[in-house]
Amino acid sequence: MTEEIRLHLDRAGECLTDAKVLVANERFAAATARAYYAMYHAATAALLSEGIERSSHSGTISAFGQFLVKEGRVGPRFHEYFREAFDLRQESDYQPVTRIGAEEARDAVERGEEFTRVCEDLCK
């Protein structure tokens, strides 16, 4: 595992820790954004382990589907989790009023943890 991959995985773990703290403090929109960033860093690490690099968030999401899901390396639900987390992050970061509540934030964090574990396994 390269240093860059390890750093992305470490960052994913930090984002998940942050997301849990935010949920505990009822900062649900911010928690979903951190859960997304955990997925983003985990996906970046998994793609880098395959020699694939993308420079944008949408490019990373697309490459994850193309190279890891379509190739059967991970189940399609993980691509769905990633896309949905991106949409929630967009809402939480750019909308002045958000509909994100406790249950949705907790689900995002749980999905982020599962997604990150799968990506870590791909990097081994």
Report pLDDT digits (tens) over 69-92: 999 999 999 999 999 999 999 999
Domains of the chain in start order, with CATH, are 3-123 (1.20.120.330)
CB atoms within 10 A of CB 6: 12
> Is 87:108 a contact under the CB 8 Å cutoff?
no
Question: Which residue is it, tokens 């081994």?
Answer: 124
Those residues with Cβ within 8 angstroms of residue 95's Cβ, 6 or more apart along the chain or in another chain: none
Q: What is the pLDDT of residue 112?
A: 98
Q: What is the pTM of this model?
A: 0.96
C-alpha span between 94 and 88 (Å, rounded)? 10
Report pLDDT digits (tens) over 10-50: 999 999 999 999 999 999 999 999 999 999 999 999 999 99
> Is 43:64 a contact under the CB 8 Å cutoff?
yes
